[in-house]
Structure 1
Amino acid sequence: MDGTTGSARRGPLRTVDVARESGYSVQQVRDLERLGVIPPADRADNGYRGYADVHVHALRAYRGLAGAVGPVAARQLLAELRAGTLTEAAAAVNELHVRLARERDEALRAQRALRAIQDEAQTAGAPQDDDAMTITELAEALRVRTSTLRFWEQEGLVTPERVTSLRARRYDVPAIRAARIVAALRSSGHGIPAVREVIGSLERLDGPGETERVLQRHLDRIAARTVALLRAGADLATVVSSLAEPAAP
């Protein structure tokens, strides 16, 4: 039987008990208590900590949350859950599910956009000089700042030409296509290293296949984070429900 059930029949838990049932070490339990992940333990007259089942559930919930949103956000959320109302806590947990669903939708849109850009490149005719854009025109087309395009250039993601006496940037069709790909990936949460990997793969023979693998890995990571959040669900429900329970006399 799960050791965290039947809390009314159990006395205070020792630090070692909480560590064993939560999967953390004794020192980690103390550290996470200090960081506010779990409520402060009761102290006996002899100074020993006395924990309850809710501490075990909070630690298990933290493990899942850390996998879903990262350890810093997970610590912040669990601390806020204890300080807020039951309604606020439930809304905060629901927002995590909404955020992950939004990330997945954005990643799928980026995947579709990239495929469309690649198909367009395969079917397009020879580029013409009047197809080129200035940095202002491209920024407006992509709905980004010109400083963003300069940053992408510094990172080696998009390489414009410089053709005027003032060395102004001029983006030909390949550069425009690269900028569109970068914009799609960045909008879906891909970091610069992942974007650089995609752009680099497009220049190799295995480009389309490698690009698909990069995008799929991103979707797989979102799926893994979603599963971690789902696994934390039961423990989060216990922690959130404890907010509505009257304090013991």
Structure 2
Amino acid sequence: MADQIALRTVDVARESGYSVQQVRDLERLGVVPAAARSSNGYRVYTPVHVRALRAYRGLAGAIGPVAARQLMAQLWTRTLAEAAAAISAVHAGLARERDEVLRAQRALWAIESEAAHHAAAEGDDTMTITELAAALGVRTSTLRFWEREGLVAPDRVTSLRARRYAPSAIGAARIVAALRGSGYGIPAVRDIIDSLHSLEEGGGPERVRRILVERLDQIAARSVELLRAGADLAAVVDSLTPART
């Protein structure tokens, strides 16, 4: 069988793109199974070792070398179902990262939109809680809840506990309303509101927008690396199937 073709260390190195020493090191780390030994003590590899090293290269590009080494070492001892689930989890992890960045982009758009609205209304007077609730289309109890959660703070509370909101607080309330309307939970909204100050100090929305775009590009590149590793990962799993059935 093709998978039983005997390969020398130098052959594996040439086919996988690693050096001879790297092949030995990755074998020691469990990325590939231990090679058989010939009668004279030399390592004897098979094409499966080559596929495993190629799979590791793609995984390292997708999730980093440490996580890739751990995953490859685990695959050799897992059942077919467990191995498939572990690989699927890598795909799912990248998808979650992408969703988080897209979510951050939507939050940034909401913040910028409300900042523009606030700038246009900069000369507005303060609002009572009733006026602000009506402007946002929420209940006054919602504004009080946001206040308890530290999301929006009135400019002052009179002796009769009547709240008045300054333009800056009105802008913050609009951002909270926009984020909540986009499906953000209270903890996520709190994180975004808390980051607004550092956002301003860190170069403003434009810099953050560039960072998010770069992050999406990085995730896309990692996803491509994982796709490249797909056929080799399948070969690794297939090579172990007989031992698991």
Task: Decide: shared fold, TM above 0.5.
Answer: yes
SS of residue matched to 2:232: helix
1:98 CA displacement: 1.1
Shift of the 66–197 alpha-carbon distance from structure 1 to 2, 3 Å rule, reads: farther
From 207, 215, 218, give the equivalent of 1:218: 215
Q: Is the 8 A contact 1:16 1:26 kept in 2?
A: yes
1:184 CA displacement: 4.7
From 3, 27, 36, give the equivalent of 1:7: 3
1:196 CA displacement: 6.4
- Once the two structures are superposed, residues 200-240 of structure 1 have per-residue CA deviations (whole angstroms, 9 ceiling, x without a partner) of 221xxxx53x3322110000011011001000000000001
Q: Is the 8 A contact 1:198 1:214 kept in 2?
A: no
Q: Is the 8 A contact 1:15 1:29 kept in 2?
A: yes
From 234, 240, 245, give the equivalent of 1:237: 234
What is residue 71 of structure 1 aligned with on the other side? 65
1:245 CA displacement: 2.4
Trace 1:80-119 onto structure 2 (pairs within 5 A).
80-119=74-113
From 180, 183, 187, give the equivalent of 2:191: 183
Shift of the 77–184 alpha-carbon distance from structure 1 to 2, 3 Å rule, reads: farther
- Once the two structures are superposed, residues 143-165 of structure 1 have per-residue CA deviations (whole angstroms, 9 ceiling, x without a partner) of xxxxxxxxxxxxxxxxxxxxxxx
1:140 CA displacement: 3.1
CA distance in 2, matches of 1:56, 1:183: 46
What is residue 133 of structure 2 aligned with on the other side? none
Shift of the 225–184 alpha-carbon distance from structure 1 to 2, 3 Å rule, reads: farther
1:182 CA displacement: 9.0
1:199 CA displacement: 5.0
The alignment status of 1:50 with 2:44, answered yes or no, reads yes
Determine which structure has more spread, i.e. the larger CA radius of gyration.
Answer: 2
What is residue 203 of structure 2 aligned with on the other side? 201
The alignment status of 1:18 with 2:15, answered yes or no, reads no
1:45 CA displacement: 2.1
CA distance in 1, matches of 2:191, 2:2: 53
From 26, 31, 36, give the equivalent of 2:25: 31
Shift of the 122–62 alpha-carbon distance from structure 1 to 2, 3 Å rule, reads: same
Structure 1: segments with no counterpart, 5+ residues: 132-136, 143-171, 187-191
- Normalising by structure 1, report the TM-score: 0.68
Q: CA RMSD in A?
A: 3.4
CA distance in 2, matches of 1:23, 1:33: 15
The alignment status of 1:61 with 2:63, answered yes or no, reads no
The alignment status of 1:123 with 2:117, answered yes or no, reads yes
SS of residue matched to 2:30: coil
What code does the residue aligned with 2:115 have?
A
Trace 1:135-154 onto structure 2 (pairs within 5 A).
140=149
Q: Is the 8 A contact 1:22 1:56 kept in 2?
A: yes
Give the percent of matched residue pairs that are identical in Structure 1 and Structure 2: 56
Greater helix content: 2
CA distance in 2, matches of 1:183, 1:26: 49
CA distance in 2, matches of 1:228, 1:138: 46
Structure 2: segments with no counterpart, 5+ residues: 130-145, 152-167, 176-186
CA distance in 1, matches of 2:199, 2:96: 24
Shift of the 222–196 alpha-carbon distance from structure 1 to 2, 3 Å rule, reads: farther
